[in-house]
Structure 1
Amino acid sequence: MKKIVFLVFTGCLFSLSACDNGFEELNKDPNAVTADRFNPAYLFTTGQYNTAKGDETTSLNYAEPFVQHMATLSNVGIFDFQGDKYVYHKGNNEAMWKGTYNAISGSSKLIEDVITLSKDKPQYYNLYHMARIWKTVIYHRLTDMYGDLPYFEANQGYYQQIYKPKYDAQKDIYAHMLAELEDATAKLDASKPLYTSADIVYAGNIAKWKRFGYSMMLRLGMRLSKVDPAAAESWVKKAFAGGVFTTIDDNLFIKGTDKAGTQEVLTNGQSWTISVSGRSPGKIAKTFFDYMKSHNDPRLKYTVAVYTDPTNVATKNTDPAVQKGMPNGLDRITLPKDPSYNPTAPGQEHQYSGVNRDVFGKLDGPRMLLTYAEVQLLLAEAAVRGWVSGDAAQYYRNGVTGAMKMLQQYDVSATIPDADITAYLTANPFAGVADKEKAFEQINSEYWVATFLNGYESYANVRRSGYPKLIPVNYPDNETGGTYPRRLRYPDDEPVLNAANYNAAVARQGADNYKTRVWWDKQ
């Protein structure tokens, strides 16, 4: 037997092509998962979910207090809204970046895998184009928070052995995202496989996906209004012609799957810290509260704020008359000196209004990513600019109505009666197009309210539009010297792990600090 084996092996040395027939198939594990056998739709589901559930920490702790939706007395700790005082916290500053690029669970890695594995495969036709659209959701938020970053070479360690990806200029990233939206949205085809179970947003509804794609194009197009108005107008017109969201039923959101332990903890064990019973909870910021109260906004009563008696957390009062917002930039030492503070009230932060956890704190509640309200308000601004047809006042009314109506998607208890919405619009009519700046201020202030708890989008639009005009805080040892923050810092290990590309980005964009503006935010 040994002699036979030797002879066969010797023969193979002289005729490899003749002797390896069948060997390769014999050595394949029939149960192994390979690229040609794996369904990338599974990755798509997780990629969608992780987009909303994987990077909330940075939004809550920086973006939300940056736009003065939220305030806190604390400046230390993991979940303490460091953006309230523009102070640096390594974990929360880096959470979005690290979560997005995570080699295993990162949303960008998962979606990049879907794109690679589905490209040029007829059975995955729509999945491929859906993934291209979803990629813009991931990256536009990331680049809006940090500026230039790895994009074209990102997540290519396995496919192209690129372990130190170059940072791409935000201008180039935006150009590619818009081009991808245009091409991928147009190519979606309802006659091809729909992947209804894999798509946890629209269940493969191609009509909704097309409206989503063009609504994203509208958002990204409007983002260029300050840096490149001509390009902004062109993309806004394309989006408008393609067809954007038409009702709140088109809203893009991800819902959680776990109803247990609601109101306190998110997936990954991350706390919202908007609990009114914690030691250092986030509270409704005075800027936000006062704006809504001065406009007699019904959202304040029905959904947003609640005062909880610190001696009995089960006792709640949603009457704005007995509530107040917490000023930004204060701590436990400086708060008692503020005029808003009542020294006879029990507790310190507990005399201020917190978020209504029964509406916004549910584990199985939605995380809004893009809404009909935002789309209509952007169209109102575009109409004022003369970029789209239609009545700016009607777009404005649609936007405000949509923002109020969508709250019922969080919880039925947040349903605002039609009469209250009508009364609000009557008391706060559209400013008109004659005074464009006044119109822009009104539209974008409503956008700010409509994006409550969607910190990434609210922060981006405040920087783009300049409204509402927020008064910066100047807490000791803050990162900006008391000026309004324009971005976050890159992770601390980037100058070490990807030094050459990091240095090139900093040389091109500007100093790696909170004061440097991203490309579309240039003065």
Structure 2
Amino acid sequence: MKNNLLKNAILFCLVILASCDQGFEELNKDPNAVTADQFNPSFLLTTAQLKSAQGDHNTSLYYGTCFVQQMASLSNVGIFDYHGDKYVYHKGNNEALWNATYGNTAKLIEDIIIQTEGDADFNNLHQMARIWRTIIYHRLTDMYGDIPYFESSRGYYDQIYKPKYDAQKDIYLDMLSELEDAVSKLDATKNNFSEADIAYNGDIAKWKKLGNSMMLRLGMRLSKVEPATAETWVIKAVTAGVFTDNADNLMISGTDPTGTSSDLANGMSWTISVGTRSPGKIAATFFDFLNDNNDPRLKHTVAVYTDPTNISTKNTDPAIQKGLPNGLDRQTLEADPSYNPDSPGQEHQYSGVNRSVYAKLDGPRMFITNAEVQYMMAEAAVRGWISGDAAAYYETGVSEAMKMLQQYDQSATITDQEITAYLTANPFVGTSNMEAALEQINTQYWAATFLNGYEAFSNVRRSGYPVLTPINYPDNETGGLFPGRLRYPDNEPVLNVENYNAAVSSQGADNYITHVWWDVAN
């Protein structure tokens, strides 16, 4: 009797459980969840591209442009901006690029790559993401050195919450291989995801040029540390096809001209635009280079603002323009020969960025340009790595660098006659003296990367040109030596202590004078 009752009870439970299970999956579904077949990962590309031009710009502007003496400031220790002018440390802006990359863009790109892996329908998106990955990681490793790369942004997928730091050499070799493979797999016959691509609107030919031009940049970065490797990759890039016109330039523009949302405006422009933010000043080193060579870019680049918060106070009269020497503060300024005690104000007598051109909130932020590509090919020709006329590459670089200003604003148009006059007065020095040629090419590269602090700082370290006199402001981070990198964020030796210590042991002290792997120019 008991056995029959037990059997009946078990049977009843099984029937109940079976009937409940029929609705169990539906009851446990999140009605707000987005499934793989509902979500298009191309939307992540749009955000990643926009965020690549946002959130990090203070590191580029406040450190990079000042390190290379394009920008200057009277700010001293403790002030929140332009710290590179005096080689001083500011936690927030020293870490801005690191935090913006790992906290946002790197994760977005990793999501695209993983979600589209092996899916033929998303082939081009997958390759675009791989190329974009090199864009965000190469500037990160150039500024800090060894960084988490292979295990980066793998917390959700692989439960790696404390990624190891990878050697910059390994990172570079992987990025170069990634570029080569991604470019080879881009396919113009497949979906180009034009609706998501705010850089090239899905133009596959331009994406291939971008990948190859990045390959050229990364290959050239190795010119001193591993010249044979550099030559191999430079040849590959040029043979495959790099930028040929300013229409190829990689730039991301802001989408809010009003500036009501700093997340949608051009981040760099937002920082140097009118308002309560300090716009900084044009460094005397940069100003003098343009002025002494009668460079037509000068009239579009500089302006004096007697009221820094009001763009209408702009004065572009060449007679009153002058650059601010780096390394001065409001106390030491008045002893400098450049200072005029009869002029109103202190810093307001020095030229600032012409905001009508460079501070448009919906204007572009440049990542890599045809001018840079032409200068790199000029250098490669001088070194004998590629065929072609170094002088022709150089002249095209100058021309494209000047015409590029139109992409910021049509008011900054430089005529063909002005360009011809400049090249006549500043001809290519020729290839018989290699060092003189490299100096001329890379000094022009420095001018062409105005406000791209990451690239300007990297190429000055790589090439050694232009030769800059280091700053020795009291209590600076380098003891008066030219900086080699930025420090890791303060929380790394706490949150990722084992891997941080391994990186410091391998690379060198975590300070501003340790050099990154490829930087053997100084």
Same fold flag (TM > 0.5):
yes
> Whole-Å Cα distance in 1 between the matches of residues 263 and 425 of structure 2?
38
Maintained 8 Å contact 2:343/2:349: yes
Q: Aligned-pair distance for 1:317? A: 2.6
One-letter code of the match for 1:198?
A: A
| Structure 1 residue 168 corresponds to structure 2 residue 172 | no
> Whole-Å Cα distance in 2 between the matches of residues 271 and 244 of structure 1?
28
TM-score, normalised by the number of residues in structure 1? 0.94
Q: Aligned-pair distance for 1:53? A: 1.6
Q: Aligned-pair distance for 1:20? A: 5.5
1:252-331 matches, within 5 Å, as 252-261=250-259, 267=265, 272-275=270-273, 280-301=278-299, 303-310=300-307, 314-331=312-329
Q: Aligned-pair distance for 1:271? A: 7.6
Maintained 8 Å contact 1:60/1:455: yes
The answer for the alignment partner of 1:204 in structure 2 is 202
The answer for the alignment partner of 2:76 in structure 1 is 75
The answer for the alignment partner of 2:44 in structure 1 is 43
Q: Secondary structure at the match of 1:369?
A: strand
Given the alignment, which residue of 11, 14, 17 partners 1:10? 14
Go from structure 1 to structure 2 and tell me whether the alpha carbon gap of 1:236 and 1:313 turns closer, same or farther (over 3 Å shift). closer
Q: Aligned-pair distance for 1:30? A: 5.8
Deviations 1:71-112 (A, max 9, x none): 00002456420000000000000011011111xxx1111001
Deviations 1:292-337 (A, max 9, x none): 1111100001x21012234986233323332000000000000000
Q: Aligned-pair distance for 1:160? A: 0.4
The answer for the alignment partner of 2:228 in structure 1 is 230
> Whole-Å Cα distance in 1 between the matches of residues 159 and 313 of structure 2?
58
> Whole-Å Cα distance in 1 between the matches of residues 376 and 46 of structure 2?
29
> 5+ residue gaps in structure 1?
none
Given the alignment, which residue of 387, 403, 406 partners 1:405? 403
Maintained 8 Å contact 1:146/1:487: yes
Maintained 8 Å contact 2:54/2:263: no
Go from structure 1 to structure 2 and tell me whether the alpha carbon gap of 1:433 and 1:26 turns closer, same or farther (over 3 Å shift). same
Go from structure 1 to structure 2 and tell me whether the alpha carbon gap of 1:36 and 1:261 turns closer, same or farther (over 3 Å shift). closer
The answer for the alignment partner of 1:356 in structure 2 is 354
Go from structure 1 to structure 2 and tell me whether the alpha carbon gap of 1:4 and 1:53 turns closer, same or farther (over 3 Å shift). farther
| Structure 1 residue 127 corresponds to structure 2 residue 125 | yes
Deviations 1:348-380 (A, max 9, x none): 000000000011111100000010000000000
> Whole-Å Cα distance in 2 between the matches of residues 269 and 207 of structure 1?
28
> Whole-Å Cα distance in 2 between the matches of residues 5 and 99 of structure 1?
61
Maintained 8 Å contact 2:253/2:266: no
> Whole-Å Cα distance in 2 between the matches of residues 121 and 265 of structure 1?
32
> Whole-Å Cα distance in 2 between the matches of residues 94 and 317 of structure 1?
35
Maintained 8 Å contact 1:44/1:199: yes
Q: Aligned-pair distance for 1:198? A: 0.5
TM-score, normalised by the number of residues in structure 2? 0.94
Go from structure 1 to structure 2 and tell me whether the alpha carbon gap of 1:9 and 1:63 turns closer, same or farther (over 3 Å shift). farther
Q: Secondary structure at the match of 1:521?
A: coil
Maintained 8 Å contact 1:308/1:316: yes
Given the alignment, which residue of 214, 217, 221 partners 2:215? 217
The answer for the alignment partner of 1:460 in structure 2 is 458
> Whole-Å Cα distance in 2 between the matches of residues 263 and 362 of structure 1?
14
Maintained 8 Å contact 1:255/1:367: yes
Q: Aligned-pair distance for 1:270? A: 8.2
One-letter code of the match for 2:160?
A: I
Q: Aligned-pair distance for 1:23? A: 4.5
One-letter code of the match for 1:325?
A: G
| Structure 1 residue 513 corresponds to structure 2 residue 511 | yes
> Whole-Å Cα distance in 2 between the matches of residues 458 and 47 of structure 1?
23
Go from structure 1 to structure 2 and tell me whether the alpha carbon gap of 1:189 and 1:415 turns closer, same or farther (over 3 Å shift). same
Maintained 8 Å contact 2:266/2:365: no
Go from structure 1 to structure 2 and tell me whether the alpha carbon gap of 1:436 and 1:309 turns closer, same or farther (over 3 Å shift). same
Maintained 8 Å contact 2:461/2:519: yes
Maintained 8 Å contact 1:487/1:514: yes
Maintained 8 Å contact 1:263/1:357: no
One-letter code of the match for 1:82?
A: H
Q: Secondary structure at the match of 2:504?
A: helix
Q: Which runs of 4+ in 1 moved over 3 A?
A: 3-13, 18-31, 76-79, 261-281, 309-313
> Whole-Å Cα distance in 2 between the matches of residues 279 and 363 of structure 1?
14
The answer for the alignment partner of 1:101 in structure 2 is 102
Deviations 1:166-204 (A, max 9, x none): 000000000100000000011100111110011101111
Q: Secondary structure at the match of 1:402?
A: helix
Q: Secondary structure at the match of 1:230?
A: helix
Maintained 8 Å contact 1:275/1:282: no
Maintained 8 Å contact 1:78/1:91: no
Q: What's the % identity of the aligned pairs?
A: 68
One-letter code of the match for 2:51?
A: N
One-letter code of the match for 2:305?
A: T
Q: Aligned-pair distance for 1:454? A: 0.6
One-letter code of the match for 1:233?
A: E
